[in-house]
Structure 1
């Protein structure tokens, strides 16, 4: 403990070695704080308070070190390096704090991603079409539609993606009702989780399935979630639905910023599409 106190005092007084002060105490420590996830509520307040205290310790020590270097040795380059490091941590800390606070108070624009969704019945009421984002509103609408239309056997999906947690809820509904899933247009990202739940899975001539790895989305962020864990969880689910391991390797190796759209042969071979009855 005395060593830790001495270390803290040494930086605070601007007496630390330049390399340790700049690389460790300023840059590395601030970058490490930037890797902390997205705390909320009281935890967010505590984190911002702690970050501010650390920033005070960092900047005062760094500034004093730069002044000492100028006054004692006239080493302009080293002093400028220390000043630059101080400026970096201040800007980085402010940017992180603004991002955390803005994401905490974010309010979706009206009718963006949260509009109630209606479902269309076709094929004499045997097929229900779900078009739009994967949301809990869609899950609620689908549940109500299935409850009042027991003759439904097929769910036709048309979605660019959405909330992975809502997609899982929709997948549970699909499995519970032993529905066939089909895509005649597109089913990308989170939509593929719902599609995978189909007892039979069909793709129309112009249909496309699009896959990629996971990433945080500020509009759908779940504070306690971990991207790696959620991805692993859905990989297990897709494997239980018959998706081949090599196919899943390719899916999760695809960056979230990109989209892999396999051809029909690949989808059939990998078990994504169910083969027609002979």
Structure 2
């Protein structure tokens, strides 16, 4: 048996087979057979809780075998084409096959560079260090009706979720609060969620591969404080981003649920080292999310929301009056403190686009001011039902604005000019910040909450 196999290998390598046999049987046929073996191996890995070290060993073995196999195939086919005419074959077919061999060799080099090397490195790393993606935690909530996943999605995540759901068959909703993990594992989790007909819910953040699992939900819910993050796929142990096969999984699943092509292109077009957080209205319009709900719709999560990514410009237009006024009061408190301690930081807070880095409020504000500001942001987010067709109603607001500016001009003659052309006063931080404080304080001193909110919406709309 071994001798016969050795003879076949040597005979093809020397080009002793006919061109038809070498091209169609050894070339095309063997490539199809290898593809089937890889698919079956992938199915085996997906069906059983394979350890990370075993998965790494499988990757290393496959990558190590495919490279010499490809070289052997192409060299043998080339030599068969070379000898084809001497055996009475037509020159045109020999030349066509040689062209196909060159194209196949170029494709093989590209695939090996973009996919083979990263996967080989990934396999070696898994064999040596195990799965370095990170860990996860599972919590059963709401008397066994909800399950929360917090952390990452390494190998074995789906098996653990399956085990917990088996012990708590009343689970209807799975919370996904994860920054991502293994694409193959996320696909398994997606399929399990679909099979169980579970709803998916994100209380804080579901990014990268986590979004695949999220798409498996019978109904897909996003908390008003939650965010979904998208970027192109990458292998954790590799510096090479955007493996085509991994991104194909994202595209396949997104398309299966009717996500718009424009959204898909944007999602997989973001560099693997970056992250795109689309707004809630865009997520609904693109059919990624079915509904945005208050955080009390489901059991409380242990995950911490990323409010700075949840916040949208629309919140300053559509928030209820009381929540909006309360938010701007905390902004004025922050401005007054910064203007007293460091006017340049006050200007950086007001005009972040003038600076290379935005101001980190948590590092420059006292705890009480920062906490009050965060609570105000949470209140605005929770109480605002964002509407895609919202239009600002000016009404008599412009008259209120004019009266307010006239009052400011009487008390502070320079301030209207400063507020009208702030770029000219970049170096006069104290003056610029003081004028802004007076502007917002004047809006907050109006007789009713309705007037205060109307002026604040106008000022935010005009910026």
- Indicate the TM-score class for this superposition, using the shorter chain for normalisation: 0.5 to 0.7
Match of 1:40 in 2: 63
Contact 2:232 2:269 in 1 (8 A): yes
1:246 aligns with 2:259: no
**Alpha-carbon separation, structure 2, partners of 1:248 and 1:260:** 12
1:134 aligns with 2:150: no
Greater Rg over alpha carbons, structure: 2
Q: What is the CA distance between 1:121 and its match in structure 2?
A: 0.7
Match of 2:171 in 1: 152
**Alpha-carbon separation, structure 1, partners of 2:160 and 2:257:** 25
Relative distance call for 1:113 and 1:214 in structure 2 (3 A) is closer
Q: What SS is found at the alignment partner of 1:136?
A: coil
Q: What is the CA distance between 1:196 and its match in structure 2?
A: 0.7
Between structures 1 and 2, the one with greater helix share: 2
Give the number of the structure with larger relative contact order, counting CA–CA contacts within 8 Å between residues 6 or more apart.
Answer: 1
Match of 1:274 in 2: 290
Match of 1:188 in 2: 207
Contact 2:232 2:272 in 1 (8 A): yes
Match of 2:103 in 1: none
Q: What is the CA distance between 1:143 and its match in structure 2?
A: 0.5
**Alpha-carbon separation, structure 2, partners of 1:103 and 1:188:** 21
**Alpha-carbon separation, structure 1, partners of 2:121 and 2:279:** 41
Runs (5+) with no aligned partner, structure 2: 1-59, 70-116, 294-463
Contact 2:131 2:155 in 1 (8 A): no
Task: Please list, as runs of the form range in 1=range in 2, the aligned pairs for 1:87-106 lying within 5 A after superposition.
Answer: 105-106=124-125
TM-score, with structure 2 as normaliser: 0.36
Contact 2:231 2:271 in 1 (8 A): yes
Once the two structures are superposed, residues 166-225 of structure 1 have per-residue CA deviations (whole angstroms, 9 ceiling, x without a partner) of 000000110001111010111010000000110111111211100011233327x9xxxx
Match of 1:113 in 2: 133
Relative distance call for 1:102 and 1:184 in structure 2 (3 A) is closer
TM-score, with structure 1 as normaliser: 0.58
Relative distance call for 1:253 and 1:152 in structure 2 (3 A) is same
Count of residue correspondences? 185
Once the two structures are superposed, residues 111-162 of structure 1 have per-residue CA deviations (whole angstroms, 9 ceiling, x without a partner) of 84365x5410111111100111112321111001111211100000111111
**Alpha-carbon separation, structure 1, partners of 2:118 and 2:211:** 30
Q: What SS is found at the alignment partner of 2:265?
A: helix
Relative distance call for 1:211 and 1:131 in structure 2 (3 A) is same
1:261 aligns with 2:280: no
Q: What SS is found at the alignment partner of 1:259?
A: coil
The partner residue of 1:214 within 229, 233, 236 is 233
